[in-house]
Structure 1
Amino acid sequence: MRNTKKLGQFGIFLLIILLSTYLPQTIGLYVTIILGLGADVYSLILTIGLVGSLLLLIWWLKKQKMLFIFEKKSWNWSFVFYLFATYVVYQILGNFWTRYAHLINHRNIHGEYFTVVLSNGQPTFLSTVLSFILTVVIGPILEETLDRGYFMNTFFPKSKYYLDVILSGLIFGLSHLILSHQDPISLLYYSLIGLFFALVYRSTDNLRLTILCHSFFNFLNYAKPIWIFVYNFIYYHFFR
Structure 2
Amino acid sequence: MIRAQNLTYAYGTQTVLHGVNLEQRAGRVLGLVGPNGSGKSTLIRNLSGGLKPVEGRVTIGGKDLGSYSAQELAREVSTVIQERDSEPGLTVAQMVMLGRTPRLGMFARPGASDEEKVIRSLESVNALHLAQRFFAELSGGEKQRVLIARSLAQDTPYIFLDEPTNHLDIRHQHELLGLIRTNSRNTVIVLHDLNLAAQYCDDVVLLDSGRVVAQGPVGDVLTPAYLEPVYDMAVHRIEHQGKTHLLFEPRNPEGSS
- Provide the TM-score with structure 2 as the length reference: 0.22
Q: Indicate the structure with greater helix content.
A: 1
- Provide the TM-score with structure 1 as the length reference: 0.23
